[in-house]
Chain A
Amino acid sequence: MKELKFSEIVRLNNELKNTSNAYSIAILSNITVHQINPILEYALKSENIDAKCTIGDYDNIVQDSKTFSDRKLVVIFWELANLIDGFQYISNDLSSLETEQYLTRFKSEIDFVFKNLSTTSLVILNKFSTLIFNHHFSGRNNFDQLCQELNNYILKNAPANVEIVEIDRVIASVSIDKSVNFRDFYSSKNLYSIDFLKSYVGFITPIVRSVCGLSKKALILDCDNTLWNGVIGEDGMDGIIMSPSKPKGVVFREVQNIVKHLSKKGILIGLNSKNNIEDVEEVIINHPDFWLSNEQIVIKKVNWKNKAENLNEIAKELNIGIDSLVFIDDSDFEINLINEYVPEVYTIQVPKNIYTYPDMIRSKLSLFFNRGISEEDVKRVRMYKEQSERESIKSGFENMEEYLRSLQLEMTILIDEQELVPRIAQLTQKTNQFNLTTKRYTESDISNFLKSNNHSVYAFQACDKFGDFGTTGVSILEIDGDKARIDTFLMSCRILGRKIEYRFLEEIFRDLKNLNISQVEASYLSTAKNVQTKDFFESAKFNLIKENESEKQYLLNLDLIQQGEFDFIKVKNGK
């Protein structure tokens, strides 16, 4: 993207036509920013997000926030210097009364915009900035003061669907001089250069990726010269270096710190290394300078097999898509091998100049960006550990049901539960595999369903004798007279294989019967990742009534449904 010329971006973007179901974006602004349109579309299309961008009217943000509130994403360029013509100068000559009057007016405009966009899935708003006009001196003036006050107001009042961009960092990333296009600013209010817009798009892409469920979920590392300096099999416990008191070690300590931090945020950490497992275990458990705990490493493929094969197994065992893995290794050979055989994996090679290594990883952290990390993410790391214990007792049972019974599964069903809104939204955004319709919703979407009279939002929490899974399943129902339609039915892949999905349906059906509903409609919308749910509704006794390549439609007569088949899973009622 950085290397592409603007005209090339326009051409490439036009070659990628939108489908009818594009991800709709509106850009609202009080300056001219039309050049962002092809840049943003192309950047997102390159990430497999079929983006369609519309530019609002010039300087009509408040009105436009109403007009475009139905878009999936609204991006707002609210330029402080153009709030009124020449504000960068006028603001410095205002009396305190006048300052108050302006502030009141701008704040009420901000309120209107937040209100108008309250049901929009995602809003990206830049912080106000004085950098472009005030960087020639070190002092603060009234323009800075106003800027700070408005930014505080935004930070305090922005609803959960608003993501705020630290625009000064975008400007810094290209330099102030290269960020602005004064010629076009004074002729047409076109303030920002192409270089700035390219960088800006790079800053906001992770946010969009996150709401589209495309963030990376696991970081897999090689060991020798990746987690520590040296080769454990040759240099031994005393020879490898990762101590912060040694010049070479300090870099690896910092890398381990970053990895540790990711683990605490719920990113799954794993090893993929050619070594003897005993040697590596010895380092993890007994090396005084090894900074990660054994619990933080959820999967270890330490063997002499092909690393591409190992990565495939890791994805399979963790039950996540191969394209949600990031892999770090120091060897050209291994990195090339992975790029060749599993190109879906994002690879990072440890740089030759080792002092650049920590910052290189920091520059890639946005791959894991996740809007609103919930406690569930943090729990997940522990749960994957528990999973391996469960796997080990599995083999001793005669049949599946006996095994499931022995797990003492319990679920709690919660309906229209306000507290779960962030988690429910997150599940709709991140769940790819066991997801019948793959409809992505934000917190405000879910809140709207909660308020709606003809929607019910179901969620369940599950646990077994080994531990608590937390909130791991969601279903959204639309009720219309004596009919109900399943809009969303999904489950986190970490609780697959326990028949919980069927028990969940039973409970939903019981409630629907009590509401005198006789028919349930459902559909399966196929995606690249949800093949395993293709026949789920059949297995739950629905009748297939229509089918084409991308969709299967079902109907179920509730009167004919038998209950009780899955009573080895206990159900408690929620609050």
Chain B
Amino acid sequence: MESKVKEIMSAIFEVDILTIDNSSSPDTIEKWDSLGHMNLVTSLEDELGIIFEDHHIEEMLNFGLIMEVLKEVTSDR
């Protein structure tokens, strides 16, 4: 799952997959602005077959937190 998410982020934000770590966030990735966040959310939902709740989207502030949210969402299934 972690590598899949990194793959999606690397494609969407046009960054090297190796540079993504837990603290990667809109502050460290140029293309991660509000439109970029929308692209990320759409792609994660589509490719992982999940649907986020509104609060999840607000909580995904960096890569580490995205993984936390995904753990929660996928364990609910």
Instruction: Tell me the complex Cα distance, A34–B47, Å.
Output: 20
Question: Taking CB as reference atom, which chain A residue is nearest B10?
Answer: A11
User: What residue of chain B has the Cβ atom nearest to residue A194's Cβ?
Assistant: B42
Q: Which of B35, B42, B46, B54 has the most CB of A within 10 A?
A: B42
Indicate if the CB atoms of A35 and B42 lie closer than 8 Å: yes
- Greatest chain B CB density within 10 A among A5, A7, A32 is at A7
Report whether B38 and A5 are in contact in the complex, using a CB–CB cutoff of 8 Å.
no
Chain A residues closer than 8 Å to B7, beta-carbon distance: 7
Chain B residue with the shortest CB-CB distance to A35: B39
Q: Mark A319-350, 1 if CB is under 8 A from B, else 0.
A: 00000000000000000000000000000000
In the complex, whether A237 has a CB less than 8 A from a CB of chain B is no
The answer for the CA separation of A222 and B7 in the assembled complex, in Å, is: 46
> Which A-chain residue is minimally distant from B51 (CB atoms)?
A183
Q: Is A184 an interface residue (CB 8 A)?
A: yes
B43 in contact with A6 (CB, 8 Å): yes
With A5-B46, A5-B47, A194-B46 as given contacts, are A10 and B35 in contact (CB-CB < 8 Å)?
no
Would you call B38 and A188 a contact (CB within 8 A)? Answer: yes
Chain B 6-49, CB-CB to A under 8 Å as 1, else 0, gives: 01101110100000000000000000001100110011001100
A residues less than 8 Å from B35 (CB atoms): 32, 34, 188
> Are B43 and A5 touching (Cβ within 8 A)?
yes
Question: Do B38 and A190 touch across chains, with their CB atoms under 8 A apart?
Answer: yes
Interface of B is mostly: helix
Interface centre among A5, A6, A190 (most CB of B within 10 A): A6
Interface residues on A, range: 10 to 19
Shortest Cβ distance from residue B14 to the other chain A in the assembled complex, whole angstroms: 6
B residues near A35, Cβ cutoff 8 Å: 38-39, 42
- In chain A, residues 33-83, which have Cβ atoms closer than 8 Å to a Cβ of chain B? 34-35
Q: Count the A-B residue pairs with Cβ separation under 8 angstroms: how many?
A: 39
Interface range on chain B (Cβ under 8 Å from partner): 10 to 19
- Select the residue from A8, A10, A190 with max chain B CB neighbours within 10 A: A10
A175 contacts B by Cβ under 8 Å: no
Q: Is the CB of B38 within 8 A of A7?
A: no
List B contacts of A183 (CB < 8 A): 54
**In the bound complex, how far is the Cα of B7 from the Cα of A440, in angstroms?**
40
Question: Cβ of A10: which chain B residues have Cβ within 8 Å of it?
Answer: 11-12, 14, 39
Tell me the minimal C-beta distance from B1 to chain A in angstroms: 15
Complex interface residues of chain A between 490 and 535 (CB less than 8 A to chain B):
none
CA distance A8 to B38 in the complex (A): 16
Task: Please tell me if the beta carbons of B34 and A188 are within 8 angstroms of each other in the complex.
Answer: yes
The reply on A14 being an interface residue by CB < 8 A is yes
Q: A8 — which chain B residues lie within 8 A by C-beta? A: 11
**Across the interface, do B38 and A6 meet the contact criterion of CB distance under 8 Å?**
no
Given A34-B35, A194-B46, verify A7-B12 contact (CB < 8 Å).
yes
A34 to B11, CA, bound (A): 16
Mark A183-216 against chain B: 1 for CB-CB distance below 8 A, else 0: 1100010100010000000000000000000000
Q: List 30 A-B contacts (CB under 8 A).
A: A5-B46, A5-B47, A6-B12, A6-B39, A6-B42, A6-B46, A7-B7, A7-B11, A7-B12, A7-B39, A7-B43, A7-B47, A8-B11, A10-B11, A10-B14, A10-B39, A11-B11, A14-B11, A32-B35, A34-B35, A35-B38, A35-B39, A35-B42, A183-B54, A184-B38, A184-B42, A188-B34, A188-B38, A190-B38, A194-B42
Q: A7-B43, A188-B38, A190-B38 are in contact. List 14 more A-B contacts (CB 8 A).
A: A5-B43, A7-B7, A7-B8, A7-B12, A7-B39, A10-B11, A10-B12, A10-B14, A11-B10, A14-B14, A32-B35, A35-B42, A181-B42, A184-B42
Interface residues of A (CB under 8 A from B): 5-8, 10-11, 14, 32, 34-35, 181, 183-184, 188, 190, 194
8 closest pairs, A vs B, by CB?
Answer: A11-B11, A7-B11, A7-B43, A7-B8, A10-B11, A6-B43, A34-B35, A5-B47
